[in-house]
A and B are shown apart, each in its own frame.
Chain A
Amino acid sequence: MSQPDPLFEFLLRMGDNALILGHRLSEWCGKGPVLEEDIALANTALDLIGQTQMWLGLAGEVEDAGRSADDLAYFRDAYDFRCCLLVQQPNGDFGQTIMRQFLFDQWHLIALGDLRHSAHDQIAAIAAKAEKEALYHVERSAELVIGLGDGTEESHARMQAALGLLYPYVGELFDPDAADHAVVAEGIACDPASWRELFDTQAGRVFAEAKLTPPESRFFHKGGRTGARHSEHLGHLLAVMQSLPRSHPDATW
């Protein structure tokens, strides 16, 4: 297919974001700083993987080539993934993981709240379901960003460093391309650029309370959601995530 179907592209972007972030969070399983946080990270991962099944399941139906959600998750290579660069970033320390989570959750909540009104019934239904979970996620990640940002000298310094490191990956979430414009025109999705102002207001409120300062520069890296230039981390993540089904492609649970 020379020209990708914009609806398929859109569904991959939603599904791949949830899948890759869900996998990243699952890397914490058994290694969280305290038991409660370990469980919280694993539960958040579980919600995201559940959402992935819905998005990629629908993507498979739309594509109509006989690929299931699992086929799309496990048998595509990095250049066919459409996740943003932010979710590919390594976990780093706990603070960095929480900062990545907050930036994503805040975007996710706004995006899903808007997609709930999609003209596409199934997209509206998935968004309404996922929005409830995203709201719960952002309550937790925002609270932790505030607690750690306005915490000790050490925790503040780490959170400020995490914000500086991850902020250049935020802009991509609000940067539409031709595929976005095509689904917007059909009333299926909304223009990601229209979410920026609300994001800045809501995230800004949390940063102020956390005594954290986002970088002044709005420069951002891109290439994840289009698949044109993924980070160097994605291939390594996929090698781990996909190794089992690729080694035993016919295995059943």
Chain B
Amino acid sequence: MLHHAKPLARLIGELGKLPGIGPKSAQRMAYHILRSSASDVQALAEALLEVKERIRFCAECFNFSEEETCSVCRDPRRNAHVVCVVAEPRDIMAIERTQEYRGLYHVLQGLVSPRDGIMPEMLRVRELLQRIATRGIEEVIVATNPTVEGDTTALYLAKLLKPVGVRVTLLAHGLPVGAELDYADPATLSSALQYRREL
């Protein structure tokens, strides 16, 4: 059997640790890097190091940030009385793309997952309570995935925040835009019925 030269094998091994990258893709990427110019490879390596060095979590909302607080938290035009709770920083990007929302965010850094043993105290829940207690927050919008873990997290937060006296709303889980009713799976349809709105 033919083996890769040691440095190449090492690169394939490191790339293979990335999410969604199998051994085949890792090999393809490694070959691509090998064929690239020295300056391109240099730029890639620097970008990797820089992101690790410069990016940290926002002290307020736990979004990625270059400074102590992130650009959303620092923006004075945003409504500081509303906080949208998401699982990951990438969810902020998704909501920002809608240009519908002008409040702040709170990144939990995960979802409550009973089956994986991920408990609320392993997430940024305490920090959320702290923010609500000290920052004059009036509404919390829980925007988690419409999955069992997302629903578990949302219901747990709703229950936890009820006695705190803030308004808690959940994202409506409905039919995907452009879908046909009789094609929708029953779980989606049943959730669309549950969270139906007044016209």
Please say whether chains A and B are actual partners in one complex: no
Which A residues are within 8 Å of any B CB, using their own CB? none
